[in-house]
Amino acid sequence: MGYRGNNGDVVVTDMIDAGDKAFHCRYRFIPDQDYQLGEIARTYLESDGLVTYLGDWHTHPNGSTELSLLDRRTLTKIATTDESKNKEPIMVVFGGSIGEFDVNPVQLVSGQLRFWPFSTCNFIPLSLEIYVPDN
Ligand SMILES: [Zn+2]
């Protein structure tokens, strides 16, 4: 969740977790969609509509940060789903092990769903800067 700056920067302000009813296993993860949709709506309303849905993030435990075929399909599906209101979604993949995670943030440029599990998914890497608010 976040916003796009006037200069085109994507600013992530909030990250929503998988939810208590998410299904986690070694190579697959199914989020608690009801929980996530509720959190998206709550965050949007609490920001008076400034903070919107930007895309997906997840980890590849003990894996690389490269997008899998399923990741590419998911990113394309976000862009082609009207409800997401997001034609250029981002995806952030954390790969590695605890204390040694690498981060791969990308943004979809164009995409089209093909027969399962394939898709045409063209994305660009995003550079990452982390800002820590002064509190
Ligand atoms: Zn993945």
Section 128-134 average pLDDT? 87
- Say how many Å lie between the CA of residue 93 and the centre of ligand 1: 6
pTM metric for this prediction: 0.89
- Say how many Å lie between the CA of residue 74 and the centre of ligand 1: 9
In the structure, what pLDDT confidence band is assigned to residue 5 with cuts at 50, 70 and 90?
very high
pLDDT at 132 > cutoff 90: no
Q: What's the pLDDT at 133?
A: 81
Q: What's the pLDDT at 96?
A: 92
- Say how many Å lie between the CA of residue 48 and the centre of ligand 1: 31
The H or E element spanning position 40 is helix 33-46
Domain extents in the chain = 1-53, 54-128
- Say how many Å lie between the CA of residue 135 and the centre of ligand 1: 33
- Say how many Å lie between the CA of residue 5 and the centre of ligand 1: 27
- The Cα 36–Cα 30 span in angstroms is 11
- Say how many Å lie between the CA of residue 49 and the centre of ligand 1: 29
pLDDT tens-digit readout, 38-79: 999 999 999 999 999 999 999 998 999 999 999 999 999 999
pLDDT at 116 > cutoff 90: no
Cβ 34 vs Cβ 56: under 8 Å: no
